[in-house]
Structure 1
Amino acid sequence: MNYVPTFRKAFKIDQKADLANVAIAVNSIYTAEQIASSYLGNIDPSDNGTGFRIHVLINLIGRVCEHAKAMLVALSTGSPASAEALARIVVEGSVNVMYLATLGDSGTLNYFFRSWLDEHDRKLMEWNQMAQDDGAVEVLTMIKERRQLVQQLQNFVSQNEIHCEIDKSKSAEWPKSLFKRFEALNRKTDYYTSYHRLSGASHLTGEDTLTWLMSTGMPDGMRHKLGKEAWSYSIMMTRISSTFFVDAVAACVISHGRAKNDDLRDCKAALAKAAHEIAGEAGVPGK
């Protein structure tokens, strides 16, 4: 199905805008999103723990999908650097979902939630000490209110653990290191070739500025070539990032019994083919 008109209308993209460079990614992301929502949403959970897990995975898939669509909007409207920054979020979010769906269970989800809650409370305590040292009364009040919210969320997680009869002793823990999650999924190479590769835009590293400085003394034709290569690179990386989202959806539905997934395999194959086809223009050696 062609979802490009739906995408164009949803994000109010001008009818004159050429969306050929994002069409394959748009169709793959919308197709995968539809598969996830229709399949997971129609499962009748056997117990509270399963229902909890399904609801969380649906929510997480939706959040990653939102970033994936925003990534393609950025590329479609002339912001390739922003598209790369969002692509990095899509890769990380997809890997998180893959880990939770493939290696985790309801107990792992509780580890996932508590990891954030514990770290956030620790940061609030650090901030609280700084505010006390500075005598910032108004800030201390805000920190107190925020910690009260965190406590409410911690209580919710504890109550849900009881409600769902979760025994975390049998569950895989939540690795604090993203690299460890890639590693656990046997995707260490992807960490370097996809996730780390996208760090330039999100961290505003020196690479692009150095390239620009070097190009200032080059002939116009060479600078045009470098600019075209940079655009192609952004297109390629958004396609690669979209495959991660498709993989995340596949992990969720397969872990809940979906046996026939040719539609998702077709999405991934189309994205891989499209990424390969533009690799040479993107400056990939040997392509």
Structure 2
Amino acid sequence: MSHIENFRKKFHIDQKADLRNALVAVDAIYEANRIATEYLSEIDPSDAKTGFRIHSLLNLLGRIFEHSEGMLVAISTGSPASAEALSRIVVEGSINVMYLATIGNPSTLIQFFRSWLNEHERKLGEWKETIKGESYADKVSAMIDERSDFIQSLGLYVDKIESQSLIDPCDRNTEWPKSLFKRFEAMGRKTDYYESYHRLSGASHLTGEDTLLWLISLEMPIEQKIKMAKEAWAYSTMMSRIACTFFVDAAAACVIGYGRSSNEDLQKLKQSLGRSVQSIAKEAGVPH
């Protein structure tokens, strides 16, 4: 079964639905995910910390793959704005995995987990402080405490991994940057932050851009409205393809980090995506 047929069947997409616009992207993410998963799964870890890192990368990559699938389902079934929101998740997740796979090491992963644990615990504390004096404070505080206990248990689990796997403390060269922009920058992809990630904020943050354009269009003739709608849909399609290139890069970073030297297959997937982006760029309103 081809990747596109598998995609259609998996998500119960009607046989009459035209999936040609998603074909290249679906093939790219499915094949990249297969390559990375099979390669990493065949590695016999030399020690516990290597096994910990490989398992973590496999899980993170798998989670991004699921978002990539959801993004392409959305663009294929009439939800371009939702596809854009998911595209942003795919781009961010892919950059995180690229950083962990190329610059990071097992101690960076420990920092990655602790960064989330510490931030989550801080938010729980703020929440508990905010509800003091409210009539429901005791009931909600009990739930917050239960969640806090769970977070602390996860922290102990991370401590156990660090200790049992003999993971050294992180140094400045491999630390986990708190800022996503810093991770883009460290990967030499600062412009991608603005060109791809930031441009996708409109759907995920419900900014004013689309509503302003809609208000402007109210006074336009129907032909112009249709033209604007087609351009917006093409733009969402283009951005979903760009997001897929980030996923392919993340898959490549994982396998290259563990010694896969021949990666022409992944390079061809990225080139195919690049051509598909260029093919729709004019329709999407990209200046030439």
- Normalised to the residue count of structure 2, the TM-score between the two structures is 0.98
Correspondence 1:122-141 to 2 at 5 A: 122-135=122-135, 136-141=137-142
1:253 to 238, 252, 255: 255
Once residues 176 and 75 of structure 1 are traced to their aligned partners in structure 2, the CA distance between those partners, rounded to angstroms, is 31
**1:242 maps to which residue?**
244
Unaligned runs of 5+ in 2: none
Structure 1 residue ranges, 4+ long, deviating more than 4 angstroms after superposition: none
Once residues 77 and 276 of structure 2 are traced to their aligned partners in structure 1, the CA distance between those partners, rounded to angstroms, is 20
How far the C-alpha of 1:2 sits from its partner, in A, is 3.4
Once residues 70 and 219 of structure 1 are traced to their aligned partners in structure 2, the CA distance between those partners, rounded to angstroms, is 34
**2:20 maps to which residue?**
20
How far the C-alpha of 1:128 sits from its partner, in A, is 1.3
**1:262 maps to which residue?**
264
How far the C-alpha of 1:192 sits from its partner, in A, is 0.3
Once residues 25 and 36 of structure 2 are traced to their aligned partners in structure 1, the CA distance between those partners, rounded to angstroms, is 16
Once residues 166 and 225 of structure 2 are traced to their aligned partners in structure 1, the CA distance between those partners, rounded to angstroms, is 62
Q: What secondary structure, in the 3-state scheme, does the structure 2 residue paired with 1:186 have?
A: coil
What do the CA deviations read for 1:37-91 (whole angstroms, capped 9, x no partner)? 1000000000000000000000000000000000000011100000000000000
Once residues 60 and 287 of structure 2 are traced to their aligned partners in structure 1, the CA distance between those partners, rounded to angstroms, is 35
What do the CA deviations read for 1:106-146 (whole angstroms, capped 9, x no partner)? 00000000000000001111111122332511101001100
**1:175 maps to which residue?**
177
Contact 1:111 1:173 in 2 (8 A): yes
**2:212 maps to which residue?**
210
Count of aligned pairs between the two proteins = 286
**2:65 maps to which residue?**
65
What amino acid is the match of 2:284? Answer: A
Once residues 32 and 169 of structure 1 are traced to their aligned partners in structure 2, the CA distance between those partners, rounded to angstroms, is 30
**2:189 maps to which residue?**
187
Once residues 2 and 170 of structure 2 are traced to their aligned partners in structure 1, the CA distance between those partners, rounded to angstroms, is 46
Once residues 8 and 38 of structure 1 are traced to their aligned partners in structure 2, the CA distance between those partners, rounded to angstroms, is 23
Once residues 143 and 233 of structure 1 are traced to their aligned partners in structure 2, the CA distance between those partners, rounded to angstroms, is 42
What do the CA deviations read for 1:245-282 (whole angstroms, capped 9, x no partner)? 00000000000000000110000000011001100000
What amino acid is the match of 2:34? Answer: Q
Contact 2:25 2:241 in 1 (8 A): yes
Correspondence 1:63-102 to 2 at 5 A: 63-102=63-102
The CA RMSD over aligned residues, in Å, is 1.0
Once residues 215 and 127 of structure 2 are traced to their aligned partners in structure 1, the CA distance between those partners, rounded to angstroms, is 40
Contact 1:131 1:137 in 2 (8 A): no
Contact 2:108 2:170 in 1 (8 A): no
**1:160 maps to which residue?**
161
**1:52 maps to which residue?**
52
Of 1-10 and 151-160, the range deviating more from structure 2: 1-10
Once residues 131 and 154 of structure 1 are traced to their aligned partners in structure 2, the CA distance between those partners, rounded to angstroms, is 25
How far the C-alpha of 1:217 sits from its partner, in A, is 1.0
2:221 to 199, 219, 222: 219
Once residues 151 and 203 of structure 1 are traced to their aligned partners in structure 2, the CA distance between those partners, rounded to angstroms, is 31
Once residues 211 and 122 of structure 1 are traced to their aligned partners in structure 2, the CA distance between those partners, rounded to angstroms, is 39
Once residues 90 and 260 of structure 1 are traced to their aligned partners in structure 2, the CA distance between those partners, rounded to angstroms, is 25
The share of aligned pairs that are identical, in percent, is: 60
Unaligned runs of 5+ in 1: none
Contact 2:233 2:284 in 1 (8 A): yes
Contact 2:238 2:280 in 1 (8 A): yes
